[in-house]
Chain A
Amino acid sequence: MNKVKKLIKTIFLIEIAQGMWVTLKTMLTPAVTRQYPKVKRKPFAGSRGLHAMRRDDSGLKERCIGCGLCEAVCPSKAITVVTSEGPEHEKLVNSYELDLLRCVFCGFCIDACPVSAIVMTPEFELACYSRKDAFYTKERLVDVGDRYMGGKAVKK
């Protein structure tokens, strides 16, 4: 009986017909392609993109306290923090530099930051024409933060 079934299957090309049916069905269902530059998907919640620096409660300067934990935890050594002592023995953050060409977007710096000063935005289109454009200083990071938070100091 099985042999007869197999013979019938072979003669009438049943399996090929089944395959043809699958391709026809696929053709009639909408394609899964997204027309990327024209149609952009909403980023997933918690997606890790370009970094941003938040402002402190006064809104005048960055929130970073210069602890250097992000610098220490960064696996690709993309972050450089330079601090000094101010006139009233407070810690000043002289520079906070992020080299996106080194960054692997692991998000460890965000986890390490004790005051949630450095955060990540969902921005992922980071192509640029020169290496300089991929080098983010403190001011540029604060600008990114302003772009995403409207310049407001948002408390966690």
Chain B
Amino acid sequence: MPDMHMIMNIIYTLVIPAAAMVAFILANAMYLQLMERKVLAHMQGRLGPMRTGWHGILQPIADAVKFIMKEDIIPAKADKWVFSIAPILMLAMAFGAFVALPFGPPTNFYGLLPHKAPLWVANLNIGVLYILGLSSIGTYGVIMAGWASNNKYSLMGGFRSAAQMISYEIPMAFAIVIVVLMAGSLNLSDIVNAQSKRWFIIALPVGPVAFFLYLISAVAETNRVPFDLPEAESELVAGYFTEYSGIRFGMFYMAEYINMMVVSLLVSIMFLGGWLPVQILPNTAIGHIALIASINGALAALPAPLWLLAKLYFFIFFYMWIRATLPRYRYDQLMAISWKFLLPLSLGTLLVAAFMKQAGWL
């Protein structure tokens, strides 16, 4: 007979945070689609969805209903099992990453709860490694979908995706290793707390370089413009999910946006101080002027998760902004950027970071 206290404990620390997280992810995955359409439209001088509700606010619901209602077609010559598993795998890996992502320090919601509740599902001490691993498994979803569809466009999309993700995971991993070196921990909460004095993006000289490396690799990792070769619609129809329709197509679509959230959250947590508030020159003479000090105080008084969400949506907007601006790279350029530019740069930066850590300058 499991005792009541233990069950309540499990509910408080696991079930409620997980349910809240799933709700948050699903709502976001739906509405990021609308946000992307709106941002792209306005950057191209258009309005985007306008007819479903006020400024198209109900468009994601219409899309979701349509995805579910459409016929779910499995091509006759497709490998049915692999074909069915691929989107589920991708979506599961995208969801899984949120287990380790912290949204703020434990809080009792301004006295609403009797005790402090965590704003994460699990405070993994290998959080970074876990998320990197999941994103690698997510690549299998792409390859499986490409192979199982039995369609040359899908297959080429899958191959491209595999090559691209392998190439860009290396500089990305090195950028993360630099952060881990600076923070001295693989735990994402510890990485945030290590930035309380200064964010890693301004930790000269290696911080900005690592940030730049991660930002570029993250775009490639999520298969977005200008590195969207796996789903280049002008060349490959839709790439690896050409043959997918209905809810399975919707799952790929959702996975793409959830992955975008994961990389945006990671870059916020690792380089922009996660849930730490923005401060105007806190440790200098300017920071001690009464006016600026009071502004800093007001900024710090805002709830911590709000700061993380602000950074998250800034980066998501940034990725959409890039999509509206840049054309797609050619395939050889894509490979050249990774192996000839990002990889040597990341290795050199890692070397400098390791040296400085050893010398105690970091």
**Which A residues have a C-beta under 8 Å from some C-beta of B?**
16, 19-20, 22-24, 26-27, 29, 31-33, 35
Within 8 A of A (CB), among B35-53: 39, 41-47, 50
| Total contacts A-B at CB 8 Å | 35
Question: Which residue on A lies nearest to B42, using beta carbons?
Answer: A27
Within 8 Å of chain A (Cβ to Cβ): is B321? yes
Q: Which of B45, B47, B50, B322 meets A26, CB within 8 Å?
A: B45
Q: Find out whether the CB atom of B322 lies under 8 angstroms from the CB atom of A31.
A: no
Question: Which residue on A lies nearest to B322, using beta carbons?
Answer: A20
Dominant SS at the A interface?
A: helix
Q: Which of A16, A23, A32 meets B43, CB within 8 Å?
A: A23
Within 8 A of A (CB), among B114-167: none
Docked Cα-Cα span, A26 to B47, in Å, equals 12
Within 8 Å of chain A (Cβ to Cβ): is B326? yes
The smallest C-beta distance from B262 to any residue of chain A, in angstroms, reads: 23
**Which B residues have a C-beta under 8 Å from some C-beta of A?**
39, 41-47, 50, 321-322, 324-326
Q: Within 8 Å CB of B325, what residues of A?
A: 16, 19-20, 22-23
Q: Find out whether the CB atom of A20 lies under 8 angstroms from the CB atom of B47.
A: no
Docked Cα-Cα span, A114 to B279, in Å, equals 80
Docked Cα-Cα span, A65 to B326, in Å, equals 64
Q: Which of A20, A22, A26, A35 meets B42, CB within 8 Å?
A: A26
The smallest C-beta distance from B36 to any residue of chain A, in angstroms, reads: 13
Q: Find out whether the CB atom of B43 lies under 8 angstroms from the CB atom of A33.
A: no
Docked Cα-Cα span, A32 to B324, in Å, equals 17
- Shortest 8 CB-CB contacts between residues of A and residues of B: A23-B43, A27-B42, A33-B47, A23-B325, A31-B47, A27-B43, A19-B325, A23-B324
The smallest C-beta distance from B59 to any residue of chain A, in angstroms, reads: 15
Docked Cα-Cα span, A8 to B73, in Å, equals 52
The smallest C-beta distance from B247 to any residue of chain A, in angstroms, reads: 31
Q: Which of A23, A29, A31, A32 meets B321, CB within 8 Å?
A: A23
Docked Cα-Cα span, A9 to B244, in Å, equals 42
